[in-house]
Amino acid sequence: MHRLTTVLLASCLPFAAVAQDAASEATRIAQAEIAGRLPLDDPRDEANVLRGKLAEIPGGVILAKDGKTVWDRRPYAFLDARAAPDTVNPSLWRQARLNAVHGLFEVVPGKIWQLRGYDISVMTIIRGKSGWIVVDPLLSEEAAAASWKLFADTVEAKSGKLPIKAVIFSHSHSDHFGGVGGIVTPEQVKAQKIRIIAPHGFSEEATSENVLAGTAMGRRALYMFGSILAPGPAGQVDTGLGPKLSSGTIGYMEPTETVAATGGTLTIDGLAFEFLDAGGTEAPSEFVFYIPAYNALHTTEVVTHTLHNVLTLRGAQVRDALHWSKVIDAALVRWGGKAEVALASHHWPTWGAGEVSALLTSQRDIYRYVHDRTLFLANRGATLHELADVTPEAPGQATDFGARGYYGTVNHDMKATYQRYFGWWDGNPANFNPLPPEQSAPKYVALAGGAGKLLAAGKAAIAAGDYRWAAELLNKLVFAQPDNKEARAALASAYDQMGYQAESGAWRNYYLAAAASLRGTAVESLSGNGQSRSFVSAIPTAVFFDALATRFDAAKGSALKGTFQFLLPDSKEAVAIVVGGGVEVPRYGLTDPAPTATITIDRKTLDDVMLGQAQFPALLQSGAIKIGGDRAAFLSWFALHPPAEPRFNVVVP
Neighbouring-strand partners of residue 51: none
Q: For residues 521 and 190, what is the distance between their CA atoms, to the nearest angstrom?
A: 49
| pLDDT, position 613 | 87
Helix, strand, coil shares, percent, the chain, to 5? 40, 15, 40
How many CB atoms within 10 Å of residue 399? 11
Among 206, 214, 239, residue whose Cα is nearest residue 6: 214
| pLDDT, position 14 | 42
CA 72 to chain centre: 20
Strand-pair category, 132-135 with 123-127: antiparallel
Neighbouring-strand partners of residue 46: none
| pLDDT, position 525 | 66
| pLDDT, position 524 | 76
Burial class of residue 25 in the structure, from the number of CB atoms within 10 Å of its CB (0-12 exposed, 13-18 middle, 19+ buried) = exposed
| pLDDT, position 526 | 54
pTM: 0.94
Length of the chain: 653
Neighbouring-strand partners of residue 424: none
Long-range contacts of 461-466 (CB under 8 A, 24+ apart): 461/494, 462/24, 462/490, 462/493, 462/494, 462/497, 464/26, 465/24, 465/25, 465/26, 465/27, 465/29, 465/497
How many CB atoms within 10 Å of residue 648? 10
Q: H or E element: which one contains 46?
A: helix 44-50
| pLDDT, position 536 | 86
Neighbouring-strand partners of residue 568: 573
3 state SS of 132:
strand
Q: For residues 533 and 86, what is the distance between their CA atoms, to the nearest angstrom?
A: 45
3 state SS of 507:
helix
Among 643, 604, 641, residue whose Cα is nearest residue 625: 604
Half-sphere exposure (Cβ direction) of 556: Cα atoms closer than 13 Å: 10
| pLDDT, position 527 | 55
| pLDDT, position 27 | 98
Kindly list the strands in the beta sheet with 597-600, ordered across the sheet, starting from the edge strand earlier in the chain: 583-588, 573-580, 562-568, 597-600, 626-629
3 state SS of 555:
helix
- CA Rg value for the chain: 26
Q: DSSP letter at 168?
A: E
Blockwise average pLDDT, block size 10, the chain, 653 residues: 34 52 97 97 97 97 94 97 98 98 98 98 98 98 98 96 98 96 96 98 85 86 94 98 94 96 98 98 97 98 98 93 98 98 98 98 98 97 92 93 97 97 93 95 97 98 98 98 97 98 98 97 72 83 92 93 96 96 96 96 91 86 94 94 88 93
Q: H or E element: which one contains 328?
A: helix 321-335
